Amino acid sequence: MIYNLGSINADFFYRMPRLPGPGETLAATAMSSGLGGKGANQSVAVARAGARVRHIGSVGSDGRWLVDQLAAAGADVAGIRISDLPTAHAIVMIDSAGENQIVIYPGANHDQCPEQIKAAFAEASPGDWLLLQNETSHQLEAAEMANGIGMCVAYSAAPFDADAVARLLPHLSLLIMNEVEAGQLTKALGKPVLHLPVANVLITKGAKGADWHDTRLLQTVSIPAFSVDPVDTTGAGDTFAGYAVAGLSQGMSPQGALRRAAAAAAISVTRPGTADAIPTLVEVEAFLA
């Protein structure tokens, strides 16, 4: 079982001829909305990878439709509470090459509570996984609870904050970052990746694939990306992370889990949207075949 203390956003997408510069106003060519947030995206990816996932999070009274979408995707939503704060939302601008700029309002994502998290862990067992990202409150408390149960803890260090990562490192089984975040962390801590105080580090590199670093064995496994024509890169990292942790929880080797995750991410960037773009396991297996 995978538990995910994660953000839940209403995503608003604006297709742009190009991304605007400072002080510039541009007209969008199309607009749509849907379920998003790094946490929700990862829960959808886990569920579509065939693993069980319980999402822990908060939405405002205006966000019940997002909870319904998470449930429809296969996530257990018993750990989601209704907050007095508005539901979080994101403004996503996407250019003709599929690149994006994103502005986030955190809202209810910063209104988690320890009692809610503890109740969601009531059925957790040693060997289960906890997924965390840097878009909610109470990450450290959740990690400490998970450690007490004997769970594995994976943390996506985005949006990046070196201090937040440093606080969580002693509690992690797996740290997930992109190349830029990895550079920022190694500079902040003064240590190379293989000397970071965490058992495993997963670094995503977009079109260049991903690297899995085992800091105990001082070994690195590299997985290439699949070549596709991108339409929208929003949420690709979350698709990769969710599929990767799902694979690990299902007993796959890091190499096998990352290859399947790379295929899922490749499919996702050929589609518009975030959670809606995440492929099913059947689609991923067909792609790999």
Q: Which residues are annotated as a binding site for K(+)?
A: 232, 234, 268, 271, 273
Q: What is the pLDDT of residue 273?
A: 83
Global confidence as pTM: 0.92
Q: What is the pLDDT of residue 233?
A: 86
111, 128, 238, 276: the catalytic one is 238
Q: What is the pLDDT of residue 222?
A: 96
Produce one character per residue of 63-81: b if its CB has 16 or more CB atoms within 10 Å, e if not.
Answer: beebbebbeebbbbbebbb
Yes or no: say if 21 and 99 are a contact pair by the CB < 8 Å rule: no
Q: How many CA atoms lie within 13 A of 200 on its CB side?
A: 18
Q: Which residues are annotated as a binding site for ATP?
A: 178, 204-209, 237-238
214 is catalytic: no
- Measure the CA–CA gap between 143 and 265, rounded to whole angstroms: 27
Structural domains in the chain, CATH included, are 2-8+36-86+108-288 (3.40.1190.20)
> In this structure, is the dihedral angle defined by the CA atoms of residues 155, 251, 242 and 229, taken in order, positive or negative?
positive
Sequential pLDDT tens for the chain (289 residues)? 999 999 999 999 899 999 999 999 999 999 999 999 999 999 999 999 999 999 999 999 999 999 999 999 999 999 999 999 999 999 989 998 888 898 989 999 999 999 999 999 999 999 999 999 999 999 999 999 999 999 999 999 999 999 999 999 999 999 999 999 999 999 999 999 999 999 999 999 999 999 999 999 999 999 999 999 998 888 899 999 999 999 999 999 999 999 999 999 999 999 988 899 999 999 999 999 9
- Measure the CA–CA gap between 130 and 121, rounded to whole angstroms: 10
Nearest to 210 by CA among 165, 243, 161: 243
Q: What is the pLDDT of residue 99?
A: 85
Q: Which residues are annotated as a binding site for substrate?
A: 9-11, 37-41, 135, 238
Q: What is the pLDDT of residue 100?
A: 86
